[in-house]
Chains A and B, each alone.
Chain A
Amino acid sequence: MRDLRVALAQIRPRLGDVAHNLAIHLDYADRAVKAGCDVVVFPEQSLTGYFLSDLVAEVAVPRDDDSLQPILDASRDIDIVFGFIERTADHRFVPAAACASGGRLLHVHQKVYLVTYGLFDEARDLAAGRHVRAFDSAHGRQAMLICEDLWHPTSAALAAADGADVIFGLSSSPGRGVGGGASELGSAETWHALNRLYAQMLVCYMVHVNRVGFEDGVNFWGGSEVVAPDGTCLARAPNFEEALVVADLPDSRLRRQRTRLPLRRDENLELVSREFARIAGERRDGIDN
């Protein structure tokens, strides 16, 4: 990868107010350009807000919609990774992360794991994506994953196996868990552990951007961070506050850690894919184990 300067845009979107949120995107992108960044990363559903329910149908747009043009225009100066709801040609609504670069959409990732339990109800309103793919930008090979995707370690493993040196995780993670003698929110603790685990064991940079603010009494805790391949947290945004945090991701750090710990070189994709295929086949054929 090329040395990368990344801006974490820890914003507070307004629920269902795309025009307002678009203005926030352009402001943060502009500030990131002034800070000399190569890419600015926004949270999940950064253009729309999160707990949309029936608002989904009103805010979803095709990926080539004119309303995204201001972001494409701004992407001539900086790569912009952002979240929106994609309306597909056959009228499904899919939570998506897009990377805009050089005036066009370089790649779109559709969330593969919808979250429908506890306080979440995504599968009522949304459809899931079917692919995990890394993509090449001018700065190297990257991947985008969205929130619940990363609660399935296989998604991160696929992104890494597909060659991503940097994984952008876009989240709208509600803060919960203030009991049991914890010193930080239960959800924050879990995310920091996940980011560190993926960075270290997949030997890549993890860039996790979470939003802040409240929706219907639910708080989003922020705490966006960059974790280096050796597990060091390079930068972390404050909890609960809007912030633009800049971090440098040098290739040398990746090279040295891959040299020390050649886990990627030794990953046995043939073994993994063969065993997963066997297990999936047995599940399909109804063999319990």
Chain B
Amino acid sequence: MASTTETSLQNRARHGLQLDTALAEQVLVRFIADAISKFGFTRAVVATSGGIDSALTCALAARALGPTNVLALMLPYRTGNPASRGDAETLVQALGVESHVIDVSQAVDGYLEELDDDTTPVRRGNVMARTRMIATYDQSEAFDALVAGTSNKTELLLGYGTLHGDMASAVNPIGDLYKTQVRQLAVALDLPSAILDKPPSADLWEGQSDEDELGFTYGVADEVLYLLVDEWHTPDEIVAGGYDADLVTEIRRRVQQTQFKRRPPVIAKLSDRTIDRDFRYPRDWGR
């Protein structure tokens, strides 16, 4: 077999990541309508940060369910970037969805003040994410809705999210879209330019940047992940294709290291039929 050249592998990754946005929109809008209605609901709640992922989920949900059936929940913390809140409000205006603002500062700080030890930024960030989860699920009950998730495929594969925090949802329309594909679809849906143009940030502390924290850009991470996951390439082939060896090793390590975050809690097997092991029923059982 002819060897794959550097250009062709990178080009193939970039080409493969090019989304048919009209088709993806069609499938995802139908998915949301189906997944929400199957369980007897008509509404969705989206924790809306002002970032591109939650903006896309919100926009898709608005198309699937109608804007008045979507609650964009804004959950600011006192150290958050004020621009995020402004971007979220711009989105709400543009989509015409319902919105509600709940400041989580007191809830987060109330818990943190109870602690004797010094916390770390990661721990504080996790507390914020999980406090937002509590608010989101509480509001889903009040709004008679299911929680629509905002974790994309890149974050999920890298484990770059808080388990039971921002990773928690009932239905996730964007979990099979890489970050660069989220952007393509957000552009196609004509989301506000302020949301499209700013650098990705979890906004858990001041000046936080996803790409600084990860140590690589989403653009290159998506190409490596696409080649590893979707195209079944080996890490060696990807390095031979022109990607940095340390980067490929690190991405591969992160995917393996965080596998537990993508699975339900492990159950110690005792009986003949253990849940999710040999007691396997579809989620859509009877629906």
Contacts and interface: CB of A to CB of B under 8 A. Distances in A.
Interface of A: 14-17, 51-55, 175, 178-185, 213-217, 219, 239-240
B286 A17 contact: yes
B15 interface: yes
Given A55-B282, A178-B23, A15 B287 contact: yes
9 shortest interchain CB distances as A-B pairs: A53-B280, A214-B34, A178-B24, A15-B284, A216-B283, A178-B20, A180-B16, A54-B280, A178-B23
A55 B281 CA distance: 6
A219 B31 contact: yes
A93 to B, nearest CB: 14
Contacts, number: 71
Interface residues of B, number: 26
B84 to A, nearest CB: 29
Nearest to B185: A178
A55 B282 CA distance: 8
Contacts of B27: 175, 178, 219, 240
A217 B27 CA distance: 10
B39 to A, nearest CB: 12
Interface string B268-281: 00000000000111
Nearest to A52: B282
B19 interface: yes
A41 B31 CA distance: 26
30 contacts: A15-B284, A15-B286, A15-B287, A16-B282, A16-B286, A51-B282, A52-B282, A53-B280, A55-B281, A55-B282, A175-B27, A178-B24, A179-B18, A179-B230, A180-B15, A180-B18, A181-B15, A181-B18, A182-B23, A183-B20, A214-B31, A214-B38, A214-B284, A216-B284, A217-B31, A217-B35, A219-B27, A219-B31, A239-B26, A240-B26
B181 interface: yes
B183 interface: no
A181 to B, nearest CB: 5
A15 B285 contact: yes
A51 B286 CA distance: 11
Contacts of A15: 282, 284-287
A14 B18 contact: no
Given A54-B281, A182-B20, A217-B35, 20 more contacts: A16-B282, A16-B286, A17-B286, A17-B287, A51-B282, A52-B282, A53-B281, A178-B24, A178-B27, A179-B16, A179-B18, A179-B181, A180-B18, A183-B20, A184-B20, A184-B23, A185-B23, A219-B30, A239-B26, A240-B26
Nearest to B283: A216
Contact of A181 (B20, B26, B38, B279): B20
Contacts of A216: 282-284
A10 to B, nearest CB: 15
B9 interface: no
B17 interface: yes
B112 to A, nearest CB: 36
Contacts of A217: 31, 35
Contacts of B23: 178, 182-185
A79 to B, nearest CB: 30
B51 to A, nearest CB: 23
